Structures are given as structure tokens and as C-alpha cells.
A and B are shown apart, each in its own frame.
Chain A
Amino acid sequence: MICVGAATFAAAAPTLRAGPPAVDGQPSPQPEDKLFMTAAIAQRDRWFGFAMTLPGLFALVLVVLFPILFTLWTSTSDFTLLKPSNDAFVGLSHYTQAFATPEFRHALSVTLAFVVAVVILEFLVGFAVALALDKVEHGKAVYYLILLFPLLMNPIVVGLIWKMFLHPTLGIVNYVLSLVGIPPVDWLGVPDNAFWTVVAVDIWHQVSFMIVLLLAGLASLPKEPYEAARLEGAGTIRCFFWITLPLMRPVIVVTLLIRLIFAVKTYDIIYIMTRGGPGQATELVSYYIYRRAFVGLDVSQASAMAVILLLAVLALTAWLHRYMRSLAQ
């Protein structure tokens, strides 16, 4: 292929050229010749680049694109694990059915409540801690290390730790409460408790993400506007609302969006701590999809729901991407 491309260019060259005749049969060097040479080399480089990236591309298609396409396909067929031979095309009926399923709608509303609670609380706690840490001069590395610990832990481990801590009779939390005379609390057994417990554990696990990002943002703020404001008589509160908050806006929006995207997909903690229960009190949409597919064996329906979730996450990601692009300009 490569040689053919180059040869075609070489053959075309003399006919295009209107320079002086060649002296000894060989065409004399012309600027156009150089141009064709570079074009040929560029072409060859492009092909070479393709060839080198092909294995990687193939792997990506295999592990990323194929499952997505397969999910799209199953979501439009009536394939279930109970009847694997069933693969008739049913169009978008699973999608309309998804929204008609009360459990799915419930899972969506629980997810929405969870995401809003988690993102807002993590942001408030994270920003407060970041502001406090920003002024720390000694031992910042130690604080960082301690703060990063939860983030470095596997969510499964986090879930297990807290499940043990919060055990109604054996957990350390209830034991400590009993020392100060508070009766044992059933953290994960009562619907309202369970929801807020899961929210609290997620905050414990993820808040350092907010802290680290917001802290980096705070550290990069210019110092002079604060000095200028101080000379004008602005106090700490005024400086925060008039300078810090507006200057931090880009960092805040990006942090919130990234956390939002991840919160929508929360799965592991629910799986370990509550299995969506009690009842459906903590059934987030990703856990519900899992249950539908691998407990209920209704793979097609679950696929349609997964695609809906994917689209929601995609929309959030596109929003994030656009915002970041607008910042760059």
C-alpha cells in the first residue's frame, strides 16, 4: 500500500512539472519534487502510526465498545437468561417499560436523593476542611496522608468496615453510644436510618476527594487581591464571599460535576452494606439494574435500564466537558 502511494506521486510528478528539461535523463531537483517527497513521507508516517496503534485500538474495541454495543443489542431484544435462545427484536419496548416499572422509578428517586445529599454534604464538609487546611503551615503532609486514607481504600473494604462498626449488637459505634447512655441504634435495619447511614459512609469515603481538589484550587488563588481587599477593609467573611467564592467558581463547578458523575454510579457500598434494603430504602439505580439482571435474570430489561443510566452519565460528562472547554477559552 505504502509503496503504491509513493509511486503514484512519483509518476504524477513529471507531468505536473513545467521546469527546464532534464539534463541526463534524470529529472533535475525541483521544489515540487521535495513537496511530493514530504507528502509521501507524511502519508507513510500516517500509515505507520495506524499500524502501531492498531493492537491498542483492537483491545479497546474488544473491552469497551463491544460490551456497550452488546448491551444496546440485548436492550432491544427479548433475551433473558431463562430463555437464552430468545433473541427476537422488540425495539424500544424495554425502554418504555423501564419507566413504567415502579421499582425502577423508585430506584431513580432514591438515587437522586442520594446523589443530592452526598454531593451537597461532601461539598460543604470538604470546602470547610479545605479552607481550614489552606491556612495550615506545619504538618500539611500529615493531614494530607490521613485525609487520603479513605480515598485509597477499596469501597468494598470501606463497606465491610462500616458494616462491622455499625452492627446493632456487636458494633463499636453502638458500644460507644451505650457508654454515654444512648440506647442502641439499628443503623442499617430501619429504612430512614439506612439511607442516611449509607450517605454518611459515602461522605466518609469520598469527602477527601473534594478536599484535595478544593485545596489545590485554594492554593492556586492569587494572594494580592486578598491584600488589596484587606487594605480596603474587607474582613474574612467578606473576603470569602466577594473574592474566594467567585474566584473558586471554576474549581467548584468541576469538582461538583466530577463527584456527581461518580455518585450517580454508586454501587459497591450498597451491595456490601444493605443490598438495597431494608425494603428498597437504599436501592440505588445501579444496584437495582444488577438485581434485575443477575437475580431476576431479565437481562434485556436490565440492559435497557443500564443504557438509560449510561445516557444520564454521558449527559453529565458532556456538560462537564463543555464547561471545562469554556474555561480554557
Chain B
Amino acid sequence: MTEIRLANVTKTYAGGQTAVDAVDLTIHDGEFFVLLGPSGCGKSTTLRMIAGLEPISSGDLFIGERRMNEVDPKDRDLAFVFQNYALFPHLTVKGNLTFGMKLRGVPGPEQERRLAEVTVMLGLAPYLDRKPGQLSGGQRQRVALGRALLRDPVAFLLDEPLSNLDAKLRAQMRTELVKLHRRVGRTIIHVTHDQIEAMTMADRICIMHDGKVAQVGAPMEVYRNPADTFVATFTGSPPMNLVQGRLENGAVHFAEATLPLDARTGAGEVTVGFRPEDLSLAALPNRLPIQASVVAVETLGADAILVASLAGGQEIGMRVAADTQLEPGSPVSVHLDPNRLRLFDRQTGKAIARMA
């Protein structure tokens, strides 16, 4: 079992600014773990600290049982794939792939055998004699992956490896990465700002915000039960609707609607959250009707987003059928599934315990 564990890991730069703030994480053996967050949230720094490319300011990093803080990057037995691939421009694909093996003194026949294995796996055989400059983005990406695979490491660290590819290739590489993960069975820590990447590939997602861990969990758990309003709006497209509401007399009041709560006591200002797909135009049983007026219908092809304005002027998005025809300005009644409603503290943004 080679678990990767971060205990209270902090990164502070010379200027005094904190990039990563007391992060606790445990990444299980063989897991596809995604670090997700907007740029500047500290996710890449966290990854680079795990790799040993950045020194850890305080806290401990364990790989297996061993504390790795001061261990040289090459002895951590990790492979890193850089966002811009970091291929050696003066070497051929073959030279790039065998660079590490040569350095570690792997015998020639063994080098050839492993090289052949990886080139077949990644379909790189026709390009072995080309230089990185003569390859497309996707091919370079595969060379970078190949270089990582040839290390046969405990874990693969991928720093936004798909962000330089065009949309179509990115979708294709997502699938390939998942397949690859299944095949090699090693831990992958994948850093991305793209929530679709995170949702589609991850076993577990860690969402980071301002250097802190906002939430860790399986993709659907993070999606359904965001720990705070940041996670709620960072995941999902369009994001979760957040509406101002008030908790009073065992019920939540928002936008002229009132929803009685079972076991909740207390009173105060709250933010009410619900996802665009938790609303319907049809009055299904047990749904809470809310009055709104149509602002626009944005057709996406497979479906459409109805933008509606609630009493009080707050706008919400709602997923509707693609052929929905509604006049802007006309009144509409939307129906909310009360079980999917989430409440957040207005001040802290933190989720208030789940509803029954």
C-alpha cells in the first residue's frame, strides 16, 4: 500500500503570501484523484510539493510510511507530466523517452523492451525519430505520458496535462487517460481547473479554493452536496442557483415561497441552493411551486437553459427541454424538488447540515 498523505502542508513564499494553507489530504493507492480549482488556488503548488519541485514550508508529506519532505525528487518514485509537456526540444521522441532510463543506467536490451511496450501502448511507434517541434499537441502529450510510464512509478502526477489541447482531442485524451489508469492500476493525481475533467475521470475530487481544501469526495457527492457556496458554483454548468432566503419558525422562506423543514430549528439569513436540473416546468408531485418570469431561453442543442427571474429580482437557471418556447417577460411557474434543496450559511457560505 502506497498511500500519499499530506498533513498540514503549507507553502509560504518569500514575499509572505501563502499559496497552500494547511492542507490535509490522503490519496489512496491506485486512486484517480483530481485536484480541482480555479487558477491560483494552490492546486499546482500542492502537486509540485508532492513531486518535490517546490520545498514544503511546513507540514509533512508521506508516501507510504516514509516522510518525504527532504527526499530528492528523483528518489520519490513519482512521475510528473507538465502542462506544456516539458519535452527536451533537442532530442527525438526516442531520446526523450529513454532519457530517464539512460540516466538511471537501465541496460540497453531492457531499455528497448520497455520502450517498445510503451510506444505500442501509446501509438508512438511512427514518431520515434521526430523531434518534439515536428509533433502535434496530442502527440507531444503522449510522449510526455510515455516518459512518465517508462518510470514505472508509485504514482503519476499530472499538472493540467489536457489544457493545451483542443476540445475534441481533450475529450478523447480524457477517455484514454481513464483507460490507461485502469490498465496500469497506479495512483494518478491530476490537477485541473476543468470541472468536466474532474467529474468524468476522478474516483475522488479535491476542490481547492484560496490555498485551502474546500471539499474532498466522490464526484457525485461533491456535486450533490457541496460543502460551501464556492463548491456549489464551481461545479456544474450552469452552476448551482443560489438564492437569498431566511430561516424562521422551522421553515425556509425565499422568493415568496415557503418550505417547511422537518427537524430544523434556529433562525437566520441563509443562502438557498438548488441545481438547474432540480427544477421542472411540470407540476410533479411533492414539488414546491415558485413564481417567476421568463428572462430568456438559451438553446444548447440537447436541451435548453431557461433563465428566469424570481420575485425580488434574483435570476436562476433551469434545465428544460430543447423545444421549450416561452416569451421573455411572461410569467412562469417552476417546480422545485425540495429534497435537492441545500442551505448555506449566508455569512460563512458553509453548508448547513443536510435536510432529511
Residues of A at the B interface (CB closer than 8 Å) are 222, 224-225, 227-234, 238, 242-243, 246-247, 249
> In the assembled complex, which residues on chain A have CB atoms less than 8 Å from the CB atom of B99?
229, 232, 242
**Are B100 and A232 in contact, with the CB atoms below 8 A?**
yes
- Contacts across chains A and B counted by CB atoms under 8 Å: 56
Chain A residues near B151: list those with CB within 8 A: 232
Known: A247-B89, A247-B90. A233 touches B103 (CB 8 A): yes
Instruction: Decide if B73 touches A231 in the complex (CB within 8 Å).
Output: yes
How many residues on the B side are at the interface (Cβ–Cβ under 8 A)?
24
Chain A, residue nearest B53 (CB): A227
For B75, list chain A residues within 8 Å (CB).
Answer: 233
> Least Cβ distance of B56 to chain A in Å?
16
Closest CB in chain A relative to B315 CB, distance in Å: 43
**Are the CB atoms of A231 and B53 closer together than 8 Å?**
yes
- In the complex, chain B residues whose CB is within 8 Å of the CB of A247: 89-90
Answer whether A228 and B80 are a contact pair too, CB < 8 Å, given A246-B90, A247-B89: yes
The CA of A224 and the CA of B84, in the complex, are separated in Å by 8
Cβ–Cβ contact B80 & A231, under 8 A: yes
Bound complex: CA A246 to CA B96 (Å): 14
Neighbour of A225 across the interface among B72, B79, B88, CB < 8 A = B88
Residues of A within 8 A of B79 (CB): 231
B352 within 8 A of A: no
Contact B80 A238 (CB under 8 A): no
CA distance A303 to B27 in the complex (A): 79
A317 to chain B, nearest CB (A): 27
Shortest Cβ gap from B104 to chain A (Å): 6
A232-B103, A233-B100 known; A227+B74 contact, CB < 8 A: no
Task: Say if the beta carbon of B270 comes within 8 Å of chain A.
Answer: no
Closest chain-A Cβ to B166's Cβ sits at a distance in Å of 21
B334 at interface (Cβ–Cβ under 8 A)?
no
Picked from B72, B78, B86, B87, the residue with its CB within 8 Å of the CB of A227 is B86
If over half of B's interface residues share one DSSP class (helix, strand or loop), that class is named, otherwise mixed; here it is: loop
Contact status A243-B73, CB under 8 Å: no
Q: Does A232 lie within 8 Å of B86, measured CB to CB? A: no
A224 with B82: CB separation less than 8 A: yes
Kindly state whether residue B51 has any CB partner on chain A within 8 Å.
Answer: yes
- Bound: A224/B74 CA distance, A: 15
CB<8 Å pairs between A and B, sample of 26: A222-B84, A225-B87, A225-B88, A227-B53, A227-B80, A227-B82, A227-B86, A228-B82, A228-B88, A228-B147, A229-B88, A229-B99, A230-B74, A231-B52, A231-B74, A231-B79, A231-B80, A232-B100, A232-B103, A232-B151, A233-B74, A233-B75, A233-B103, A246-B90, A247-B89, A249-B90
Cα A224 to Cα B83 in complex, Å, equals 9
Q: Which of B77-116 contact A (CB under 8 A)?
A: 78-80, 82, 84-90, 99-100, 103-104
B91's nearest neighbour on chain A, judged by CB, is: A246
In the complex, are the beta carbons of A232 and B89 less than 8 A apart? no
**9 A-B pairs with the lowest CB-CB distances in the bound complex, closest first:** A224-B86, A233-B74, A232-B100, A246-B90, A228-B86, A231-B73, A224-B82, A231-B80, A225-B88
Residue of B nearest to A246 (CB): B90
Interface string of B130-159 (1 = CB under 8 A from A): 000000000000000001000100000000
CA of A231 to CA of B80 in the docked complex: distance in angstroms?
8
Q: Give Cα A247 to B133, complex, Å.
A: 13
Which one of B86, B104, B147 contacts A222 once the chains associate, using CB atoms below 8 Å? B86
Task: Please state if A225 and B74 are interface contacts (CB–CB under 8 Å).
Answer: no
Partner of B73, one of A222, A225, A230: A230
Q: Which of B74, B87, B90 contacts A232 (CB 8 A)?
A: B74
Residues in B neighbouring A249, C-beta threshold 8 A: 90
- Give the residue among A224, A234, A247, A249 with the most B Cβ atoms within 10 A: A224
Measured between C-beta atoms, what is the minimum distance from B98 to chain A in Å?
A: 11
CA distance A231 to B147 in the complex (A): 11
Nearest CB in chain B: distance from A110 CB, A: 38
What's the minimum C-beta distance from A213 to chain B, rounded to whole angstroms?
20
A229 — which chain B residues lie within 8 A by C-beta?
Answer: 88, 99, 103
A238 to B74, CA, bound (A): 14
CA gap between A234 and B151 in the complex, in Å: 14
Residues from chain B with a CB closer than 8 A to the CB of A233 are 72, 74-75, 100, 103-104
